[in-house]
């Protein structure tokens, strides 16, 4: 079966609360060749409180974390507009909810599927509500133990939900020793479901490595500029990087779908002859002389003399005729018992 690597561009908070910027990301991801644009749906009143701390304190941003989420909110009509824009641009509209109210909103507007952020893996009321929608779920594993992931996967599958899972490291930006590429294989063996990779490295290499190792889904954050003030900017790809990455992913995808049989070399027979060698001699030899290893040379092309692989067969053989320096050595030059 042909493999297709599903590529998700994570917009997250990169729109910085601007609906116009959010729409601009949709067009940019479509142009880069992504399969889906993923958003985060934050409803401050339902999700946050005055006690929530900032993960990263952003320069020149005043107010509490709750105030920040308030600035990230869009209305239901605005989310509907983003979904329609994605469809028009040929992208799937995916989103991560961070409250039960966000699940309800997304279900009403017809989201294609739900991405569960790693901080929500043990939010069983949310998982239960999502399961009732019948929509597929992509589960992120960043902050989760195997026990927590086992519970979430079993919980969703018991409710008939199609689940895929992403290896993810909650480090911003994630360094190569933190990528955990080996975990994808462990997840594949453990859960027997589609496995992918969610990247926060800020460069293209982690996803390319994951694609080569068989990831079926790839997710990465995008930003128009790494100097923007959203908390994921330094861990994101620019749209130029995203386009380069996706082009590389598609090439890897093609390579994986066309395994090479090293025993099938018919297409290279002419080249094999051109670059191959035949046995020859490096000095004039007379009839009756015995061939020594020091008398031999190998010369292009193949097929004009004995194959070099047979050189041990000719050592010590007596010549039946004279042979000139650099002439190809053939069966006709040798005695036969």
CATH 1.20.1600.10 given to domain 267-333: no
Residues of the chain with CATH 3.20.20.70: 6-257
Q: What backbone phi and psi angles, to 5 degrees, belong to 177?
A: -70, -5
Mean of all residue pLDDT scores within the chain: 92
* pLDDT tens-digit readout, 134-147: 999 999 998 789 99
Is the pLDDT at 55 greater than 60? The verdict is no
* Structural fold of domain 6-257: TIM Barrel (3.20.20)
Which of 93, 136, 102 is CA-nearest to residue 120? 102
Can you spell out the DSSP letters for 139-199?
Answer: EE-TT--HHHHHHHHHHHHTTT--EEEEEE---SSPPGGG--THHHHHHHHHH-S-EEEEE
Q: Tens digit of pLDDT for each residue in 226-283?
A: 988 778 888 999 999 999 999 999 999 999 999 888 777 666 667 667 788 999 999 9
CB distance 141 to 115 below 8 Å: no
pLDDT higher than threshold 60 for residue 337: no
Question: Which pLDDT does position 279 carry in this prediction?
Answer: 97
Percent of the chain clearing pLDDT 90 (strictly above)? 77
Span 17-48, pLDDT tens digits: 999 999 999 999 999 999 999 999 999 899 88
User: Is the sign of the CA dihedral 104, 86, 37, 225 positive or negative?
Assistant: negative
Model pLDDT, residue 265: 66
Residue 92 DSSP SS3: strand
103's tokens: 């699940």
**What pLDDT is stored for residue 118 in this prediction?**
84
How far is 113 from 107, CA to CA, in rounded Å?
Answer: 9
Name the segment(s) of the chain with CATH classification 3.90.1210.10: 267-333
160 phi, psi to nearest 5 deg: 80, 15
pLDDT tier at 65 (50, 70, 90 boundaries)? confident
DSSP state, residue 58: P
Indicate the angle between helix axes 19-32 and 239-257, nearest 10 degrees.
40
Instruction: Look up the pTM and report it.
Output: 0.85
Quick check: 127 pLDDT over 70? yes
Residues 6+ apart with CB under 8 A from 74: 19, 22, 82
CA distance 129 to 174: 32
Please state, in angstroms and as integers, the Cα–Cα distance from residue 222 to each residue in 70, 104, 206, 317, 322, following that order: 21, 26, 14, 71, 75
pLDDT > 70? residue 122: yes
| Predicted confidence (pLDDT) per residue in 79-118, tens digit | 999 999 999 999 999 999 999 999 999 999 999 999 998 8
**What is the pLDDT, as a whole number, of residue 225?**
93
pLDDT over threshold 60, residue 310: yes
């Amino acid at each position: 079966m042909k493999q297709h690597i599903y590529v998700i561009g994570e917009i997250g908070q990169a729109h910085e609360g601007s609906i116009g910027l959010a729409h601009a990301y949709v067009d940019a991801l479509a142009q880069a060749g992504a399969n889906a644009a993923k958003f985060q749906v934050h409803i401050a009143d339902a999700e946050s409180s005055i006690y929530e701390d900032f993960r990263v304190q952003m320069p020149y941003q005043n107010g509490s974390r709750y105030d920040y989420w308030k600035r990230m909110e869009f209305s239901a009509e605005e989310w509907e507009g983003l979904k329609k824009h994605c469809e028009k641009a040929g992208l799937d509209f995916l989103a991560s909810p961070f409250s039960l109210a966000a699940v309800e909103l997304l279900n009403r507007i017809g989201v294609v599927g739900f991405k569960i952020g790693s901080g929500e893996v043990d939010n069983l009321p949310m998982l239960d509500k999502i399961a009732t929608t019948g929509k597929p779920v992509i589960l992120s594993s960043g902050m989760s133990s195997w026990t927590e992931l086992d519970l979430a996967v079993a919980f969703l599958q018991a409710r008939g939900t199609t689940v895929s899972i992403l290896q993810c490291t909650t480090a911003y930006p994630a360094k190569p020793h933190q990528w955990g590429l080996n975990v994808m294989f462990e997840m594949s063996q453990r859960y027997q479901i589609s496995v992918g990779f969610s990247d926060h490295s800020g460069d293209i290499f982690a996803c390319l490595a994951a694609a080569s190792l068989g990831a079926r889904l790839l997710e990465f954050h995008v930003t128009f500029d790494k100097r923007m003030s959203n908390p994921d900017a330094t861990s994101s790809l620019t749209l130029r990087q995203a386009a380069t990455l996706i082009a590389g992913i598609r090439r890897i995808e093609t390579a994986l779908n066309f395994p090479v049989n090293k025993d099938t070399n018919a297409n290279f027979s002419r080249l094999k002859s051109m670059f191959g060698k035949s046995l020859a001699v490096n000095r004039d030899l007379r009839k009756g002389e015995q061939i020594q290893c020091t008398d031999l040379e190998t010369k292009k092309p193949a097929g004009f003399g004995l194959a070099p692989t047979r050189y041990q067969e000719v050592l010590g053989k007596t010549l039946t005729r004279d042979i000139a320096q650099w002439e190809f050595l053939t069966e006709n030059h040798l005695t036969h018992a």
